[in-house]
Structure 1
Amino acid sequence: MYYDEDETVSETAFTATTAGSAAGTAAGTDAAGGDRLIAGRYRLLSRLGEGGMGTVWRARDETLYREVAVKEVRAPAGLGPGDITRMYGRLEREAWAAARIPDRNVVTIHDVVMEDDRPWIVMELIRGQSLADLLRAEGPLTPRHAAHIGGEVLSALRAAHAVGVEHRDVKPANVLLAEDGRVVLSDFGIAMVEGSTALTMTGELVGSPEYLPPERALGRPSGPESDLWSLGVLLYAAVEGLSPFRHDTALSTLRAVVDEEPPVPTRAGPLAPVIAGLLRKEPAERTPAGEAAEALREIAHPDATTTAGARVLADSAGPATRATAGPDAVAAPPRKRRTVAFVAAGVAACVLIGGGIAYALNGNDAETGTGTGSGLRLSVAGTNTTYTGSCPIPEGRAPAFTATFTASEPTLISYRWVSGDGSVVDPHWRTLSVGDKAEPTKRDTVRLTAYAKTGTLRTGMAVELQSPIRTTSNPVPFQITCTG
């Protein structure tokens, strides 16, 4: 069941039910503000939510005679006067920056006014519910539904990043599902302050720690890739029903964000590689926003895709590709079967590049190999590398790939399977000990299948080594065409 202890206040922050005041009642605050007029224009009607960064009110614009949401911003307890002044000034600037984001999926900011020496943010009142509300009421979403919501959120983030605005608090409570069908991302630039200050101003975490990217948890500079991490956590929570890094305390949650790999999702289906690509610890290694948007679009609207180039072969029923691992591979954490899924947007047939790496095609088989320069040799061979027919692929005709590792001395290696364009398809690094005198060589085999009505996936399989050195084998090209 979905739950989020940090979202009990903000989940209805910018939404209102059809009855208007029900959201305020649900938050336990039924006090009216009808006698309070902000900036001589905005009359407070009722509270919609309250949290550490302020109170959100349902209000009436007395000039344009419309209902709006007004966020009364308050500094966290414990800040000095100078810090409060700087914080309010930054929040005001960021609110105006967010008002310039040209996207239907971003909550519209109408005005920013100063009252009682602090900013009040005036924005559209969204009638509907938050994604947090939906998950709490109905449980996990299908991959297709989650992909649709995730694609709309990503559209908002890309529009924001284009004008230099980072969200920094992407989570289900800030994704609003409007009654008119829109998916709207709220709280741009106003829910959290930049950098480590957001973690330590009051000794508590401002926001939800399980959605925080590793670089921000470590106090490092953030960027657009940080929002992509949070989107990956949101997608995981949407299909699995809970966020992947949540622990009993904020500190243990942050430690998991920094040090642990997320549990392998069991309900994600074709979303699994998208989530894995967004949840890479290093920001530079995360799937670019454009590629993620294309993958989400194809998962959300599979009937609208074409067969040109490489694509996600999937529907909402299951993962795009699946592979079972040979007995030599050791997973962390261990599991009986490895699942490998592909996102290979915009990639045509793999082309081999020089550098001394060679491959050979032999009928329907292929092989690549390379020496690593550290006494370790890696080769990847493929069989049944071209398939055309109905999907799922019959087991005897499925493309299969075997990585062979040989070392002259005992060596612990860390590796993962990747697609030919570099997109990670294996959600975890694998470990294998090779180079024993009695057994200097070990192998790992994966077999692929695909779930799709029609379509073509044309890419390659390769192995990426993390240790003892970082290198990637040349991909073995393959093609899967599902004909229905």
Structure 2
Amino acid sequence: MLTEGENARLIAGRYRLDARLGRGGMGVVWRATDQLLGRRVAVKEMVLDPALSLDEARLQRERTLREARAAAQVKHPHIIVVHDVVEDGERPYIVMELVEGGSLADRLARTGPVDPAEAAGIGIALLGALRTAHAAGVLHRDLKPANVLLEAPGGRAVLTDFGIAQVSGATTLTATGAFVGSPEYTAPERMSAQSPAGPESDLWSLGALLCAAVSGASPFRRDSLGGVLHAVVYDEIRPPAACGPLLPVVRGLLERDPAARLGADRAEEMLRALALAPAAAGHTPTRRCVPEVSDARTAPEPAPVPPPEPAREPAPEPAPRPAAQTAPVPARPAG
């Protein structure tokens, strides 16, 4: 049962909910303490609407478990770590690592857009996370600034909230004809449902996210949901001028044809070149600007440099050769 404390709540006899960090469409996230292990954690509480039918409530609980399983299947430095799933009072909770620093959406609201080099670093981190998730058969399907945590100060970007992730081989939890996700960051093939969405749909979302990171808003933001849907599927795509050097990457990721969309490997190559650009300008990039290669691939080792040859004594110059001697020609006798 849920136990009320003086200033906190205790769930499952172990996790003390200390302070609310944020609320989304699918629940509330708390800063909490694991009293058994003595560590700080984040706890996501699924808030069930009392007006839901029994079937709808069951679907919500199953979706919570799906989120935990999806995140737990994928291990990567830039993907949130799930520690536990518990139920208390018939309400599910997901226990995760605590990332101090808030989300990218919080950062944009608090201090405004980031510069292209930092946006490139965030993009590199997310590409590594997505590549690992896709290799495990997991599509995130809700990549947006609110679901990217930025560890402070100057730390890593962490992909979180796998609440609507699609796991290969698992039964869908979405009703026929229903749409889940954030339209401003959703790929057109998912909007039109003309073809099955694959890993390329997450890359489209990354392109929209990079636009938002440097300008403060998705390029598909409109006043109405219908306007957003039309912008994603039909309108001319105009990335913000603030993209600057990111423009080729953004344009490649925002190709409407999934087959023509920029791939993850090429996108990372281009972003790494941009993230390292500050070094050419005379200062060292921050850790966030240039994440280390942390997925299954490893950077090639540089070719060994042969040792210098030992110095040699100069060869003595040859002695000058004597001038050629010419034998005298005897005089011929007269007559």
TM-score tier after normalising by the smaller chain length: 0.7 to 0.9
Preserved contact between residue 113 and residue 119 of structure 1 (Cα < 8 Å): yes
Preserved contact between residue 105 and residue 184 of structure 1 (Cα < 8 Å): yes
Q: How does 1:281-430 map to 2 (within 5 A)?
A: 281-302=256-277
Q: Does structure 1 residue 132 correspond to structure 2 residue 105?
A: yes
Distance 1:184 1:142, change over 3 A: closer
Structure 1: distance between partners of 2:188 and 2:25: 23
Q: CA deviation at 1:257?
A: 0.9
Q: Does structure 1 residue 245 correspond to structure 2 residue 220?
A: yes
Structure 1: distance between partners of 2:160 and 2:12: 21
Distance 1:100 1:136, change over 3 A: same
Structure 2: distance between partners of 1:253 and 1:208: 10
Q: Deviations over 1:54-73 (max 9, x none)?
A: 11111110101111110012
Distance 1:213 1:100, change over 3 A: same
In structure 1, the residue matched to 2:325 is none
Q: CA deviation at 1:36?
A: 2.9
- Scaled by the length of structure 1, what TM-score is found? 0.51
* 255, 271, 275: which one aligns with 2:230: 255
Q: How does 1:159-198 map to 2 (within 5 A)?
A: 159-190=132-163, 197=175
Structure 2: distance between partners of 1:206 and 1:56: 20
Distance 1:180 1:136, change over 3 A: closer
Distance 1:158 1:188, change over 3 A: farther
SS of aligned partner of 2:242: coil
Q: How does 1:26-175 map to 2 (within 5 A)?
A: 34=7, 36-75=9-48, 79-175=52-148
Distance 1:115 1:217, change over 3 A: farther
Distance 1:51 1:32, change over 3 A: farther
Q: Which amino acid letter does the alignment assign opposite residue 198 of structure 2?
A: G
Distance 1:130 1:90, change over 3 A: closer
Q: CA deviation at 1:296?
A: 0.9
Q: CA deviation at 1:166?
A: 1.7
Runs of at least 5 residues in structure 2 that lack an aligned partner in the other structure? 167-171, 281-335
Stretches (4+) displaced over 6 A: 192-196
Preserved contact between residue 142 and residue 239 of structure 1 (Cα < 8 Å): yes
Structure 2: distance between partners of 1:85 and 1:292: 40
Structure 1: distance between partners of 2:186 and 2:14: 37
Structure 1: distance between partners of 2:214 and 2:70: 32
Q: CA deviation at 1:97?
A: 3.0
Preserved contact between residue 32 and residue 44 of structure 1 (Cα < 8 Å): no
SS of aligned partner of 1:126: coil
Structure 1: distance between partners of 2:154 and 2:225: 34
Q: Deviations over 1:195-230 (max 9, x none)?
A: 865984xxxx76532111112222453321111111
Q: Does structure 1 residue 216 correspond to structure 2 residue 190?
A: yes
Preserved contact between residue 43 and residue 93 of structure 2 (Cα < 8 Å): yes
In structure 2, the residue matched to 1:430 is none
Structure 2: distance between partners of 1:208 and 1:199: 16
Preserved contact between residue 33 and residue 43 of structure 1 (Cα < 8 Å): no
Preserved contact between residue 192 and residue 207 of structure 1 (Cα < 8 Å): no
Q: Does structure 1 residue 272 correspond to structure 2 residue 247?
A: yes
Distance 1:122 1:264, change over 3 A: closer
- Scaled by the length of structure 2, what TM-score is found? 0.72
Structure 2: distance between partners of 1:188 and 1:243: 19
Preserved contact between residue 122 and residue 157 of structure 2 (Cα < 8 Å): no
Q: Does structure 1 residue 232 correspond to structure 2 residue 232?
A: no
Preserved contact between residue 79 and residue 129 of structure 2 (Cα < 8 Å): yes
Structure 2: distance between partners of 1:231 and 1:270: 16
Preserved contact between residue 53 and residue 76 of structure 1 (Cα < 8 Å): no
SS of aligned partner of 2:256: coil
Aligned residues: 271
SS of aligned partner of 1:129: coil
Structure 2: distance between partners of 1:262 and 1:76: 38
Structure 2: distance between partners of 1:77 and 1:247: 32
Preserved contact between residue 192 and residue 206 of structure 1 (Cα < 8 Å): no
Query: What's the C-alpha RMSD, in Å, of the aligned pairs?
Result: 2.8
Q: Which amino acid letter does the alignment assign opposite residue 32 of structure 2?
A: A
Distance 1:174 1:113, change over 3 A: same
Distance 1:69 1:264, change over 3 A: closer
SS of aligned partner of 2:241: coil
In structure 2, the residue matched to 1:461 is none
Q: Which amino acid letter does the alignment assign opposite residue 244 of structure 2?
A: G
Q: Deviations over 1:33-78 (max 9, x none)?
A: 8453222211111222223311111111010111111001235676
Structure 2: distance between partners of 1:49 and 1:267: 29
Distance 1:198 1:178, change over 3 A: farther
Q: CA deviation at 1:123?
A: 0.6
Runs of at least 5 residues in structure 1 that lack an aligned partner in the other structure? 1-30, 306-484
